[in-house]
Amino acid sequence: MTPQEISFTNAFNANRPTLASFSKCASQDELHIVRDTFFIGMASQLCHQEYESFRVSLITDPTSFTSIASTLNTPKGLEAMVTAARASDGWEALLSVLDTVATAVNSDLDDIWMTLEKGRLEWLGALNSAHPLKVILKDALDQDEKTSDRDVLESKMIYIYALSLSLPSIEESSKESWRKVVKMEDKTNPLKNYDADLWDCRKDEWRPLDLGVQAAAERGGSSFEAAWAA
């Protein structure tokens, strides 16, 4: 590795925890705060001159300084800092130089980030769409004193199917194949005329939905079991 590649790799690893916090975001706005915090962290280690100018501009600008100082050590502190950073005179120059440094070592930080953002937003969309059905399923399990492992498995299968409906990464043909297997009358309501005997996870048609939802959860920084437990 070249010295530039080593420096870039070290900076990336040092800021990896910030990047990983995308998995805690609940909206695109929150994601963009994490993204820009990551960019600032990378620039602080790779673009020293531009970062120093940027830092000084934040400190010397009364509006920025007041905003940051008033929210220091509060839940809004990071958001206030990023908002001030975006409005600063040195923001665009900082991002431009960081992009140049990344390009020089054949890295694309925007592309890396967009992969994470797309995965998270896709997963959040699926969670939101399937949430009402999950509530119904879990309430039914809680109210049944004789709930079995099989009942839980069947409920999870229904939830997986509901999640799959909002995931473009899963082929529509796979969803349709499963609907035919279980003789589903309404694709948006798997509980309508539900036949438990037909919902068998050992069937080949189930595998694309099961694996597809698990993969989408991983891209979104989560897991299916975490989504079910939430």
Residue pLDDT, tens place only, 111-133: 999 999 999 999 999 999 999 99
Tell me, what DSSP letter sits at residue 203?
S
CA distance 15 to 41: 6
Query: Within the chain, which residues score under 50 in pLDDT?
Result: none
At residue 74, the pLDDT reads: 83
CA distance 135 to 177: 26
